Structure 1
Amino acid sequence: MMNSPYRWLKCFLIVQLVVFSSVLLADDDYVVYSPHVVKGQTELESRAYAVSDSRPGFAPSNGYLVSLGHTFTDYWKSEVYFAEYQHLPGSGNALYGHEWENTFQLSERGEYAVDWGFLAAYSQHILPGVADSLELGPLIEKDLGRLQQRLNLLVEKDVFANATLRYAPRAGYALSYRVTNQFQPGFEAYYRPIDHAHQIGPMLQGELFLPHGKEIEYAFGVLRGLNNGAPQNVIIARMSYEFF
């Protein structure tokens, strides 16, 4: 029985390093954001995924990114993704780009029927022929006792060189049940109309509290494609270390 949060952290890092040892990132959309921020909190986050699909056009691929964020006010959190990589089968790893992401908390917890926030992000892509992009949209959360629901409705638009006229909407939904703070099972679902991709799968997440106000948040799960436009299976893992 692992009774130390540091042992949980060590095990989770090993999972990320083993499963996602070849890194790729091509728009990691596998996260459902919370609208809430905590003033003065700093966050170091890593996200990773691995695609498994034997069909033509769905070559196996992995992804990894690392970010550093800080909440400057009661309503504004800013985060910089400084390591976003891409690896395609038969090629080496390449830095894909950087991203500046901002979360704005628009309401207090429980102030309205649902809690509101807004996401605004700018991605700078450095690979040849890939346009930079803006992503905007509302973040929604609802707590009912031990049950928590989140919904993101985001739209991405290419900007500057190589930009197209297309808009790329996407939606993410997450539901979790808090058995304990450390153990919160649930599921996540994702929809990207531009790719005709529908995915859903079980998730396990939790919070591990450390001394001096520090904490670790983790999430691990498997998404299953519901239609031909989505990969058959995607393993996802997320971890953040938060401190003041």
Structure 2
Amino acid sequence: MYPKLDESVLNCRSAAALLLLGCTPFALADGVVVDKVYDPYVQPLETEIEWRAVGMRDDEDDSLDSLQLHRLGLGRSLSDRWFGEVYLIGERNEDESFRLQGVELEAKWQLTEQGEYAADWGLLFELEKERDRDEWEAATTLLVAREWGRWVGTANLAAIYEWGDDIDNELESQLRMQTRYRLSEAFEPAVELYAGQDTLGIGPVARGLQRLSGARQFYWELGLILGVTDESPDQTLRLLVEYEFY
């Protein structure tokens, strides 16, 4: 979860490449975009229990105001390059009712060794099924990370396909980006950017890692993403906690 720090200062073309990726025009995905920026790394022998929560506020859209999404996952590394996880997805809407929305299977493939090339690469595969409706979603996401000194830039670019009897078949895409400063394991400040249909947001994030005895550790992230456009949710608060052991 906390990859080895490379102290060498990398050339400016790498940072520019990530910036250009963020500025590239593309069709944007609908649905909730703010969630998690994935790194491309797999830690051998790791098992994790993960909870993610996203809550939104929007004064002009009642369907988004007070909407909450929760993911509870159990994951394990399958090898030194593959990591698999299964999630239960819950939703709490404006009438304060909570329901199990669906299930999701996820697999991450680390393509390159850390530091082998100018950037580190991976792929993420996701398959989600709605519980009460014939609605499916499959996604393939390109993961890229680059370090320069104590700064780390990460980008996720996803192609998403939705199908089923209850929805129109659609092919979409989505972008998530993070730039963070490695102040210490216990606390790292960051800025994240999210782009998707009806969502363009940016905001501060904090994350940290607390090592425990017996090859165990606790990891957390907390962020507040502010909408840039009128169509974006005004505020999105995201929280992630993981308990990891080996």
The TM tier, using the shorter chain, reads 0.7 to 0.9
Picking from 144, 159, 172, the partner of 2:176 is 172
**What is the CA-CA distance between 1:226 and the residue it aligns to?**
0.3
Picking from 58, 67, 72, the partner of 1:66 is 72
Counterpart of 1:93 in structure 2 is 98
Picking from 132, 136, 142, the partner of 1:132 is 136
- Count of residues in Structure 1 that have an aligned counterpart in Structure 2: 215
Whether the aligned pair in 1 keeps the contact of 2:105 and 2:128 (CA below 8 Å) is yes
**Alignment TM-score, normalising by the size of structure 2:** 0.83
Whether the aligned pair in 2 keeps the contact of 1:41 and 1:243 (CA below 8 Å) is yes
Instruction: Name the SS for the 1:69 alignment partner.
Output: strand
In 2, Cα distance between equivalents of 1:232 and 1:217? 27
Determine what percentage of the aligned residue pairs are the same residue.
Answer: 25
**What is the CA-CA distance between 1:160 and the residue it aligns to?**
4.2
Whether the aligned pair in 1 keeps the contact of 2:163 and 2:169 (CA below 8 Å) is no
1:35 and 2:40 aligned:
yes
In 1, Cα distance between equivalents of 2:213 and 2:92? 38
Structure 1 stretches lacking a partner, 5+ long? 1-25
CA-based RMSD of the aligned residues comes to 1.5
What are the Cα deviations for residues 103-127 of structure 1, in whole angstroms up to 9, with x where unaligned?
Answer: 0000000111100000111001113
In 1, Cα distance between equivalents of 2:49 and 2:206? 20
Counterpart of 1:121 in structure 2 is 126
Instruction: Name the SS for the 2:214 alignment partner.
Output: helix
Structure 2 stretches lacking a partner, 5+ long? 1-30
1:190 and 2:190 aligned:
no
Counterpart of 2:148 in structure 1 is 144
In 1, Cα distance between equivalents of 2:215 and 2:115? 23
In 2, Cα distance between equivalents of 1:179 and 1:88? 37
In 2, Cα distance between equivalents of 1:167 and 1:196? 16
1:208 and 2:233 aligned:
no
Whether the aligned pair in 2 keeps the contact of 1:28 and 1:63 (CA below 8 Å) is no
In 1, Cα distance between equivalents of 2:166 and 2:54? 27
Give the AA of the match of 1:158: E
Query: Residues 205 and 211 (structure 1 numbering): CA distance in 2 closer, same or farther, change over 3 Å?
Result: same
**Alignment TM-score, normalising by the size of structure 1:** 0.84
Q: In terms of mean alpha carbon deviation, does 99-108 or 57-66 score higher?
A: 57-66
Give the AA of the match of 2:147: D
